[in-house]
């Protein structure tokens, strides 16, 4: 069957209205959860084969996140899907106002390789919850996981409801040329622009979950030891191949040396003295990215780490300093286990420099001072973030997750996922008991008789 025929069949399925039934959606999510549990060991193996992910990381950042998100959605879905009453202005006397969420129809989900299981299925939960059909296009760079995602979907759903289409750039472009009703794209800012251009052909509503350089600021009053541990975790998780990993550090000059000594301890505590021999350390996705990341190490002053193994495609947790805004590593998203460290004297200098950059997907600040926290949050724009932590905001179903500006548009997770895949249909229910004359021309004031 051609891709166009698959989409056509899904449109027919959607138009049959079966997905409008809430019980149908609830059953679909429950079945998805059960199949994922059945395939748990295969998912771990696929993630090991694709990226050398440990079982711990595979569960905590991929499978567990999805199971939790499905459970959360199952608990809330009946409430989210109800039409909600809105206020009615005095000018509309006699009428009542409602908002009905309705599914868009057939959605296209395009996913990247860095969390290849989670980033295919997290949007799918929203698509199902809102009553859509879906085509998923996993990343071609993580073929084992793409294959398991395909098996899970095939085992759980008929193809005209939800299906997986595997392939690379060409397949992705072919799919983007079709008249989907919703596109949910996760990937780079560069490809996000291509997706949006293609989506404009059919005026398809589009959510873009993109990347960027997420700063992490360590102020002089921070709890340095704790900050070092939480930063080391968030940065080197998945070998730095995390869209919301701290891309670079901005540390107050007066505490930089002390902080770096804690950071060294934290890295050793998490990955051992020889991370390249750690069987649980994630590898770089392919040789091209390995070479790209290696050149950053070659071009800068290494403060910690720096060793690599081309055979294993592994790079030690690496810290670079001194670094300036003019250095090559500050010109693009790093997306690997390399952490440049800049220093500052005044927070106003940090804010000024951040506001000269594209809006990042995440921002992290380590400071115990309430005024400093509020100042930074209010003076800068970013997708989301944490105060005194890194990455953790991602794992809350209560917080909408998404970027702003170059880091994306739209958000998902929890209720935001349901809303992302729904059109909000506004309906005014007008009284027929009387008719206010003010809006009509040439009619005297007062109530008109019907």
The residues that touch ligand NAD, with contacts defined as CB under 6 A, are: 110-114, 119, 137, 139-140, 168-169, 172-173, 186-188, 191, 194, 209-211, 243, 333, 335, 361, 403, 408
Q: Shortest distance, CB of residue 152 to ligand NAD, whole angstroms?
A: 17
Measured from the CB atom, the residue of 400 and 403 that comes closer to ligand NAD is: 403
Q: Which residue is nearest to ligand NAD (CB)?
A: 211
Measured from the CB atom, the residue of 220 and 247 that comes closer to ligand NAD is: 247
For 385, the token pair is 């973030």
Measured from the CB atom, the residue of 172 and 390 that comes closer to ligand NAD is: 172
Q: Shortest distance, CB of residue 110 to ligand NAD, whole angstroms?
A: 5
Measured from the CB atom, the residue of 255 and 363 that comes closer to ligand NAD is: 363
Q: Shortest distance, CB of residue 115 to ligand NAD, whole angstroms?
A: 6
Measured from the CB atom, the residue of 172 and 282 that comes closer to ligand NAD is: 172
Q: Shortest distance, CB of residue 200 to ligand NAD, whole angstroms?
A: 14
Q: Shortest distance, CB of residue 249 to ligand NAD, whole angstroms?
A: 18
Measured from the CB atom, the residue of 103 and 408 that comes closer to ligand NAD is: 408
The residues annotated with a catalytic role in the active site are 209
Q: Shortest distance, CB of residue 191 to ligand NAD, whole angstroms?
A: 3
């Amino acid at each position: 069957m051609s891709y166009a025929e698959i989409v056509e069949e899904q449109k027919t399925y959607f138009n049959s209205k079966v997905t409008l039934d809430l019980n149908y959606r609830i059953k679909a999510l429950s079945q998805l959860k059960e199949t994922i549990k059945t395939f748990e060991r295969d998912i771990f193996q696929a993630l090991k084969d694709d990226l050398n992910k440990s079982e711990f990381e595979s569960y905590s950042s991929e499978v567990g996140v999805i199971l939790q998100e499905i459970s959360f959605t199952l608990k809330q879905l009946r409430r989210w899907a109800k039409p909600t009453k809105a206020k009615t202005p005095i000018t509309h006397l006699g009428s009542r106002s409602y908002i009905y969420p309705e599914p868009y129809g057939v959605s296209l989900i395009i996913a990247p390789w860095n969390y290849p299981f989670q980033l295919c299925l997290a949007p799918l939960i929203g698509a199902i919850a809102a009553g859509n059909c879906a085509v998923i296009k996993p990343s071609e760079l993580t073929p084992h996981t793409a294959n398991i995602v395909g098996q899970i979907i095939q085992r759980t759903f008929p193809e005209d409801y939800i299906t997986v289409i595997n392939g690379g750039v060409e397949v992705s472009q072919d799919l983007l040329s079709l008249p989907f009703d919703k596109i949910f794209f996760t990937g780079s800012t560069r490809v996000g622009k291509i997706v949006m251009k293609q989506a404009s052909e059919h005026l398809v509503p589009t959510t873009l979950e993109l990347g960027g350089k997420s700063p992490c600021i360590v102020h002089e009053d921070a709890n340095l030891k704790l900050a070092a541990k939480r930063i080391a975790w968030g940065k080197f998780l998945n070998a730095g191949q995390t869209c919301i990993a701290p891309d670079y550090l901005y540390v107050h000059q007066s505490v930089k040396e002390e902080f770096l000594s804690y950071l060294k301890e934290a890295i050793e505590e998490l990955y051992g003295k020889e991370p390249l021999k750690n069987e649980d350390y994630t590898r770089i996705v392919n040789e091209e990215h390995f070479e790209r990341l290696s050149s950053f190490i070659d071009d800068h002053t290494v403060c910690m780490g720096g060793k690599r193994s081309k055979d294993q495609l592994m790079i030690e947790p690496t810290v670079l300093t001194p670094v300036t805004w003019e250095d090559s590593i500050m010109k693009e998203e790093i997306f690997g286990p390399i952490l440049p460290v800049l220093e500052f004297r005044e927070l106003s200098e940090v804010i000024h420099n951040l506001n000269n950059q594209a809006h990042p997907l995440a921002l992290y600040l380590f400071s115990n001072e309430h005024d400093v926290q509020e100042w930074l949050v209010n003076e800068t724009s970013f997708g989301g973030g944490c105060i005194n932590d890194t990455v953790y905001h991602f794992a809350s179903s209560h917080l909408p997750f998404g970027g702003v500006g170059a880091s994306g548009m739209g958000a998902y997770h929890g209720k935001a996922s349901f809303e992302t895949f729904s059109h909000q249909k506004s309906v005014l229910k007008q009284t027929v008991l009387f008719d206010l004359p003010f809006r009509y021309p040439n009619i005297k004031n007062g109530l008109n008789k019907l």
